[in-house]
Amino acid sequence: GDSVTQMEGPVTLSEEAFLTINCTYTATGYPSLFWYVQYPGEGLQLLLKATKADDKGSNKGFEATYRKETTSFHLEKGSVQVSDSAVYFCALRGPGTYKYIFGTGTRLKVLA
Amino acid sequence: SQTIHQWPVTLVQPVGSPLSLECTVEGTSNPNLYWYRQAAGRGLQLLFYSVGIGQISSEVPQNLSASRPQDRQFILSSKKLLLSDSGFYLCAWSVWTADTEAFFGQGTRLTVV
């Protein structure tokens, strides 16, 4: 079945450091790919998405590119802030399916 | 605009007691509805999803059940809670097209004691 693999956390960075959170997937066909963010005690919020190969999703300085050849959707940000501290989830939804499959999440902690 | 309401926000229940969590969506018709569970330090596990009234698909066999009595209402239930049912429960909705995201409620923190 479809699956998503994320790098293990936690990730601890200093403010203004470069962020990469790796995400790879296994799916049939061309799934839609998503990054969600979860702040403590809250539900998930969509951060960005990409729906076809080579698409780049971006929002609030975060970016991720849909790489079909490597089945990856890595999240990047050039300069993180303390307010970016949260848990980040990579997810997919396969074509013709209803289910959203999530990775295990990566906790990010940004230090001032 | 569409909104999703999930309640209660927190719940402490004794082992063996029943459970009912409710989720409603406003501003859309015939949404796909989902229940996820997030255990401490783990990812999101899909429990149930529904594509229409009375249509429930179960992903994980367990002592939980789900019902969809109305188009925009989704209920998660248990007759007898176990300690292992503790976790953060999230309701979500989406439209039928696969290139759109799911929208999540604020979650319910369930502690079984």
- Other Cβ atoms less than 10 A from the Cβ of A15: the count is 13
C-alpha–C-alpha distance, residues B103 and B94, integer Å: 6
Contacts of A41 in chain B (CB under 8 A): 107, 109
Neighbouring residues of A97: CB distance < 8 A, sequence distance ≥ 6: A2, B98
Give the pLDDT score at B37: 95
Residue B97: the pLDDT is 82
Q: What is the pLDDT of residue A7?
A: 87
A-B C-beta contacts closer than 8 Å: 61
Q: Could you tell me whether strands B103-104 and B87-94 are parallel, antiparallel, or unpaired per DSSP bridges? A: antiparallel
Over the stretch B94-107, which tens digit does the pLDDT of each residue have? 998 878 899 999 99
Mean local confidence (pLDDT), A6-18: 94
Cβ pair B46:A100 closer than 8 A: yes
Q: Say if CB B105 and CB B90 are below 8 A apart.
A: yes
Q: Which residues of B touch A48 (CB under 8 A)?
A: none
Quote the CA–CA distance of A22 and B37 in Å, as a whole number: 23
pLDDT in tens, B24-70: 999 999 999 999 999 876 789 999 999 999 999 998 868 899 999 99
- Chain B residues in contact with A102 (beta carbon < 8 A): 36, 43-44, 46
Q: What pLDDT score was predicted for residue B61?
A: 67
A104 interaction partners in chain B (CB closer than 8 Å): 42-43
Whole-number pLDDT of residue B99 = 83
> For all residues of chain A together, what is the average pLDDT?
95
Apex CA B102: angle with CA B99 and CA B103, to 5°?
A: 140
pLDDT tens-digit map of A30-71: 999 999 999 988 889 999 999 999 999 999 999 999 999 999
For residue B24, give the nearest of B85, B80, B103, B81 by alpha carbon.
Answer: B103
B42 → chain A, closest CA residue: A104
CA distance linking residue A57 with residue A84, whole number of Å: 17
Q: Compute the distance between CA of residue A27 and CA of residue A93 in angstroms, rounded to an integer.
A: 9
What is the number of helices (H) and of strands (E) in chain A? 0, 12
Cα distance between residue B81 and residue B20, in whole Å: 11
Torsion of CA B58, B64, B68, B73, to 10 degrees: -120
Interface of A with B (CB under 8 A): 31-32, 34, 36, 41-46, 49, 51, 89, 91, 93-105
